[in-house]
Amino acid sequence: MEALSYRGVQKTFGDVKAVKPLDLDIPQGEIFGLLGPNGAGKSTLIRMTMGIYLPDGGAISVLGQPRWTVASAALGYLPEDRGLYTKMRVGELLRFFGCLRGLSAPEAARRASWGLKRLGLEKWENHKLDDLSKGMQQKIQLLVAIQHKPRIAILDEPFSGLDPVNTELFMEVLDELLAEGTTIVLSTHQMEQVEKLCHAIALINKGEVVLQGKVGDIRREYGTRAVSAAFADGAELTEAQFADIAETTVLMPNEARFRLRPEVHAGKILKRLLDLGVKVSRFEEAQASMHDIFVQVVTGRDAGADAAEGGSHAN
């Protein structure tokens, strides 16, 4: 049973097809990355998932049940547009949203104080939200999404605006959620986080799923054309020695990077190096970064070439 399953789901606003008929399955118990450029239809898809918009057509099922039969307790949501009642006290706000997510009053109180403690905000329980810093407000917004321990949490850019310490804290909390069996759908533009956190992704562009699968598979698929090798004695090597198997060759005193010609297996490079008497200390197929894959898929430009020539990561 999938955590979320979309069949022919679509949504049109006026003349704009925000989401074209779309099929997608999000498995349970994983962190799933929902990627795509701005305006690709991610937010619309998320809002339909949360029941804020109704799809024009198709069906969404949550844990095997039709969307509209699913209790709100099963879901948690951190929207991209942050917003809470700024005049409310932190504790009351959390308890209020806990109740809306189906918790009883005492349970909501228990979860709220647990959440505040976990994120180090227990001192702020009786302060108004206005008194909190932006980072602290973001923590409260995360708690609103996850304090009721939903089966599925949809988090839209949860790390934006966080310092590295709080980013680590958020990641820890997500790991704990995952360990408790929550499926996390992460929508983000920060690709190194996708690489670090997500098991699988779907890349949405212009209202359609244009790429989906496990992160490792995708990176391997897009990355097998590049290899890198490390050695101590390669000073004599020349680019011409690899011209028949590598499109480009970048040689450095202790390292070399190659971009393979079509139909050439990475092993050929290793064999050539060994044949040339180089003592290879490390040899690996370079995985394309999610960043490069994203750019390549969305723009149609082969950003993988950059990876071979210097592994640029624009973060």
Q: Which residue ranges make up the site for other proteins (CB under 8 A)?
A: 13-14, 47, 50-54, 68-69, 72, 75, 77, 79, 81-88, 92, 96-97, 99-102, 141, 144
C-alpha–C-alpha distance, residues 61 and 72, integer Å: 13
Query: Of 103 and 202, which CB lies nearer to other proteins in the complex structure?
Result: 103
Q: Please, what is the minimum distance in Å from the beta carbon of residue 117 to other proteins?
A: 22
What is the enclosing helix (H) or strand (E) of 140? Answer: helix 134-146
Q: Please, what is the minimum distance in Å from the beta carbon of residue 193 to other proteins?
A: 22
Q: Please, what is the minimum distance in Å from the beta carbon of residue 70 to other proteins?
A: 8
Contact 160, 82 (CB under 8 A): no
Q: Closest Cα to residue 294, out of 219, 208, 200, 184?
A: 219
In the sheet that holds 246-252, the strands lie side by side as 246-252, 255-260, 226-231, 280-285
Q: Please, what is the minimum distance in Å from the beta carbon of residue 128 to other proteins?
A: 11
Report helix, strand or coil for 199: coil
Query: Of 85 and 274, which CB lies nearer to other proteins in the complex structure?
Result: 85
Q: Please, what is the minimum distance in Å from the beta carbon of residue 100 to other proteins?
A: 4
Q: Closest Cα to residue 186, out of 64, 68, 77?
A: 77
Q: Tell me the two tokens of residue 58.
A: 């198709």
Query: Of 94 and 245, which CB lies nearer to other proteins in the complex structure?
Result: 94
**What torsion, rounded to 10 degrees, do the Cα atoms 54, 157, 147, 181 define?**
80
Phi, psi of 22 (to 5 degrees): -135, 135
C-alpha–C-alpha distance, residues 193 and 162, integer Å: 13
Contact 84, 93 (CB under 8 A): yes
Query: Of 52 and 252, which CB lies nearer to other proteins in the complex structure?
Result: 52
Q: Please, what is the minimum distance in Å from the beta carbon of residue 126 to other proteins?
A: 13
Show the DSSP H helices in 156-207 as ranges: 164-179, 191-197
Q: Please, what is the minimum distance in Å from the beta carbon of residue 60 to other proteins?
A: 14
Q: Please, what is the minimum distance in Å from the beta carbon of residue 147 to other proteins?
A: 12
Query: Of 41 and 304, which CB lies nearer to other proteins in the complex structure?
Result: 41
β-pair type (152-156, 4-13)? unpaired
Contact 41, 47 (CB under 8 A): no
Q: Tell me the two tokens of residue 243.
A: 């011209």
Query: Of 5 and 44, which CB lies nearer to other proteins in the complex structure?
Result: 44
Contact 30, 42 (CB under 8 A): no
Query: Of 37 and 102, which CB lies nearer to other proteins in the complex structure?
Result: 102
Query: Of 68 and 253, which CB lies nearer to other proteins in the complex structure?
Result: 68
Q: Which residues sit opposite 258 in a β-bridge?
A: 227, 249
